[in-house]
Structure 1
Amino acid sequence: MKNIFSLIAVLFLFSSCGSQNNVVDVKAETTVVSTSISKTGERPKLLVGIVVDQMRYDYLTRFDAKFGEGGFKRMIGEGFNCKNNHFNYVPTYTGPGHASVYTGTTPKYHGIIGNNFYDKENKEMVYCAQDDNVKPVGTEDKAGLMSPNRMQTTTFGDENRLFTQMRGKTIGVSLKDRGAILPAGHTANAAYWFHGKDEGSWITSTFYVNTLPQWVTEFNSSTSAESYLKEWNTLYDISTYTESGSDENNFEGGFKGKEKATFPYDLKVLSKDNRGFDILKATPYGNSLTTDFAMAAIKGENLGADNITDVLAVSFSATDYVGHNFGVNSKEIEDTYIRLDKDLERLFNYLDATVGKGEYTVFLTADHGAVDVPAYLQSVNVPAGYVDNKDRKEKFNTFLIETYGTKDIVENISNHQIFLDRAKVKTLGLNLIDVQNAIAMEQLTYKNVSKVYTANAMSSTSFSTGVEELLQNGFNQKRSGDVILVNDTAFISYGRTGSTHGSGLNYDTHVPLLFFGKGIKHGETFNKTIIPDIAPTMSALLGISFPNGATGQPLGFLID
């Protein structure tokens, strides 16, 4: 009889799970092991969302031998691993990434089309979390002039607040303001970010509170930040770091005041030439400091202390700073992830002790991946390189003057987009679509430009595959440009040292997606999942409304 019921359960599972992209079947090699750790109908006391900035999926497998049992491996061993998880839009930047994880949709709908982007209405570049109508709290610096006002849809944290009549708390924590603010959403109790320089304090804005809570003030008064201004050497013998390149090479940036980008680094000495406490952001200690503060937030805000679900959004930003500085194949990035694994273990152990093992749920993903340093790829004969923006600009200006008699027809070029002065186009008696098409054809002739698309094409044609689909999912009619450029594979507009991101290629789109804790089954899948699936999945787990602009689908096969 027991075997019959088991068979029925398996048949039910295979007949009822997944969306069109996430169907659970034998062919897709999905493994689900039912390991219920919660009673039916009960919600987790605390839902913790973790975004690791610039984490490629292959870091999970590449550094696996160096990880302990309590961090990444605990999530995989006890939870669910979505091995083929991707961003389904371009551009893959930090602001759009964090917004998409928590809103369950893409820049097409939530409106965060870049970290900085051109405001077509006010004719100026704006920052994704900028808000000049608020005041800083915890500092007098303009670093506190931030809020989620530019994000146009709700997060699952917002929906949880609405569902619980504002009794469920939401707190955002990150070294980066956008990494704390966008995930926390519009109704958050607070979002806190780290202001370095000569202050080394966690700050917020009057969008949330008028004064810092006592626990934040006490944390800022402690020596926590200062304690990390110490030597940064590899956690283990550097000779064992065989998963990364040589310590001394030509592909890393390093710190001012140190001739070579090699271990060890005396952070206290180097901080004088590297913006004081800001140096911590580009070391694994930035993640350790974030962990310290996240645990202080759990205690200070009593998160997970009752049966009304709270949400804690934590973004580990140091990984991104290290990657930009040293590159994805560096000893520094390997050590950073080894140490992040220890910080995750520390956080999970703290959750076990305070909220209770089996009483909280965690997901972990990234806001984007990163490209190998093109100069390194060139050295091993992989096609890659750097875009010559000066040459492009000169050729483009010549084309504009020869074709239209003026270069003023272009208002702005940013984020691989060309914005036209539409009033100027009209004054010259030109057809907007014709101008878009002509510029697109011209740009396509330039070196290392792979593809070019117009706003008209993005608005009038429905794409369902390839980079065209990704571009369309990232295209916001009110905010995006008139012409969109796509560079050749692994060709970037960046310095010759360090890694960057932003494309729709696998090195930027393929990122981890791990779930574990209350309500999560144990298993893994190679089925494709996408970033916008995360928020609807968390909403389904909590039994609340999906974020109001969500386009992703709940991953039902991993919910217990």
Structure 2
Amino acid sequence: MRRLFVICLILLLTAPKASGAERSGPKLILFILIDELNNEQLLLLQPKLTSDGFNRISSQGMRFMSAYSADLSGYPGTRLTSFYTGTTPSVHGIVGEQWYDKKINHYVEAAPPNYFDTDQTLHYNQAQSVSDYLKSFYGPGVRSAAISIEAPWMWHTVGYRPDYFFSFNTTYGTFEEQISATTPEQQWLQRFNENLLRSPLRQRQWGPLSDISTYTEYQYLSANQQQAFRRFLYNMHVREGEPFERLAASPYANTLVRDLAVSFIAGTDFGKNGTPDVLSMAFTAKPFSSNGSLLPAEKEDMLLRLDRDVASLITFLDNELGKDQYLVVLTAATDSAPDHSSSGRAGVTTGVVEFKKISALLNLYLMAIHGQGKWVLGMHDHMVFLNRQLIAEKGLAIDEMQQLAARFLMDVAGIDRALPTHHLVFDINTETLLSNNLYPSRSPDLLISLQSGWQSAVTEAGTRQTGRSGNTPVPLMIRGWNVQPGAWFEPIEHRHITPLLLKQMGLVHPSILKAPLVPLFKPER
């Protein structure tokens, strides 16, 4: 009995220490999200990058050489929701930029560009995000924040209870905080905006950072083409559009995002309050002027400059928080457009699939068979929605109408497959690519895929469907807190990173059972 008492006493005395060990974690989890980037572009640029930016994250951290996204949607918010929640669209429900919700019988936009009804946007997601798990475990001290220029899809990164969302106003040229009212604690933001208003942002010009002959696009040209190659020099001040619209799609936008993050962390206790905070930063690699080559000169220049911005940001965080006290995750929100230039494309057809035109043609085709009516509600991303109410009124079978529409779409140039979903929704096999991308109440009538080299016209939100959707390689690097430096060459779906990260912090994610055993973190001693 006395021995049992001694054992219980020892357990009680050591319990607080064990609890403290379980709740160890980084001061800050920083997500660097580039709106449009692929591995090929990174490899082409790697010799030109500094040693302190992307290359520092890669060399001092873990680089996933074969990470990929299995999301069929080309919407940035879908990929990021899968990444942040560690689940598939069949679980989190963000199946695309917009969908027709059968429960409420109208179209839903996942994240409106004007930040209208953001509460509803946050609750379209049906799965917990990284910050939600951390807040449940560590308590309300955990804070979630996002910084972007013009990226409404960043709302999908902040969880159900975000604390800060900073966005750039292209009319006034200042940053706005979309969640909380201005408080004395946010005086740093007021000072930051005052400095912005005094700076000559619109008087800037954008030209090449390096000799134009060293740029990838130039090197692929013939001698005659090189002589006629553009020497770009752009003014940030234009008469059309919003006053700061052009600047928002230039490398200067990335510098502003970096500067705001530095001011935010330096001017507050974010990342310094004893619990892990989460900061997501959206950088752009989509210049306002570009072409269809693998790596246009303007895009390359943006990435070279972004590399320097990232380098200075990491140096600041190393000094402010400590090199091994925070975690940085770098990835891309979407894939870049397929290469539409002639280099290396012999025998491969390319083109743009115009969904609006095809939707109208499909509607005419169905009218010719079944009479007047709006048979097609819309065609977006990888989804086609038919008018089920009209189909029912006409006494037609939905599965037959889906098959009829599919046969028509299969004959359209650029479309590889058109798959009816009537039977897929009831498929008991829940581990297929198609079932993982279907959320029953938001599922379309047809799923479409494009042929290799083809793409859809890009939307304002950055949604672009390509022939690689569903198996899209994703750049992914992780550096910092407890990370084991190295490279992982085996294929890994990018969403599995979240369960692995949470496991290292003592949290159990439902998807951890399916995550591969990757030595992302150093073994405990």
TM-score by shorter chain over 0.5: yes
1:510 is matched with which residue? 473
* Residue identity in the other structure for 1:557: P
Question: Per the alignment, in what secondary structure is the counterpart of residue 479 of structure 2?
Answer: strand
* Residue identity in the other structure for 2:274: N
1:72 matched to 2:54: yes
Structure 1 spans left out of the alignment, 5+ residues: 1-38, 132-141, 252-259
Matches within 5 A, 1:107-506: 107-130=89-112, 142-143=114-115, 145-147=117-119, 148-196=122-170, 198-205=171-178, 208-211=179-182, 213-223=186-196, 226-229=199-202, 230-242=204-216, 262-268=231-237, 271-316=238-283, 318-321=284-287, 328-374=294-340, 376=342, 381-387=347-353, 392-393=358-359, 395-461=361-427, 469-494=432-457, 501-503=464-466, 505=468
CA distance in 2, matches of 1:201, 1:363: 27
1:528 to 462, 472, 491: 491
* Cα distance change, pair 395–312 in 1 and its aligned pair in 2 (3 A): closer
CA distance in 1, matches of 2:149, 2:65: 27
- How far did residue 289 of structure 1 move? 0.8
* Cα distance change, pair 48–460 in 1 and its aligned pair in 2 (3 A): same
Which has the higher mean CA deviation after the structures are superposed, 234-243 or 505-514? 505-514
The answer to whether the 8 A contact 2:74-2:381 is kept is: no
2:69 is matched with which residue? 87
- How far did residue 146 of structure 1 move? 3.0
The answer to whether the 8 A contact 1:144-1:203 is kept is: no
* Residue identity in the other structure for 2:457: Y
CA distance in 2, matches of 1:393, 1:506: 20
CA distance in 2, matches of 1:525, 1:283: 33
CA distance in 1, matches of 2:46, 2:457: 30
The answer to whether the 8 A contact 1:149-1:186 is kept is: yes
* Residue identity in the other structure for 2:303: Y
* Cα distance change, pair 337–290 in 1 and its aligned pair in 2 (3 A): same
1:48 to 27, 30, 51: 30
Q: RMSD across aligned C-alpha pairs, in angstroms?
A: 3.2
Which has the higher mean CA deviation after the structures are superposed, 80-89 or 402-411? 402-411
1:557 matched to 2:516: no
* Residue identity in the other structure for 1:419: F
* Residue identity in the other structure for 2:191: E
* Residue identity in the other structure for 2:477: L
Normalised by the size of structure 1, how large is the TM-score?
Answer: 0.79
Q: Structure 1, residues 29-63: CA drift from partner, whole Å, max 9, x if none? A: xxxxxxxxxx9974211111111111101222110
Q: Structure 1, residues 88-120: CA drift from partner, whole Å, max 9, x if none? A: 121122121222221112222212222233444
* Residue identity in the other structure for 2:281: V
CA distance in 2, matches of 1:508, 1:245: 30
1:8 is matched with which residue? none
* Cα distance change, pair 552–371 in 1 and its aligned pair in 2 (3 A): farther
CA distance in 1, matches of 2:405, 2:469: 28
Question: Per the alignment, in what secondary structure is the counterpart of residue 193 of structure 1?
Answer: strand
Question: Per the alignment, in what secondary structure is the counterpart of residue 401 of structure 2?
Answer: helix
2:5 is matched with which residue? none
- How far did residue 334 of structure 1 move? 0.8
The answer to whether the 8 A contact 1:180-1:192 is kept is: no
- How far did residue 233 of structure 1 move? 1.2
Question: Per the alignment, in what secondary structure is the counterpart of residue 442 of structure 2?
Answer: coil
- How far did residue 526 of structure 1 move? 1.1
The answer to whether the 8 A contact 2:496-2:511 is kept is: no
Number of corresponding residues: 490
* Residue identity in the other structure for 1:308: T
Normalised by the size of structure 2, how large is the TM-score?
Answer: 0.84
* Cα distance change, pair 201–118 in 1 and its aligned pair in 2 (3 A): farther
Matches within 5 A, 1:23-34: none
* Residue identity in the other structure for 2:160: H
* Cα distance change, pair 324–475 in 1 and its aligned pair in 2 (3 A): farther
Structure 2 spans left out of the alignment, 5+ residues: 1-20
* Residue identity in the other structure for 2:309: D
- How far did residue 501 of structure 1 move? 3.3
* Cα distance change, pair 154–507 in 1 and its aligned pair in 2 (3 A): closer
2:83 is matched with which residue? 101
The answer to whether the 8 A contact 1:440-1:453 is kept is: yes
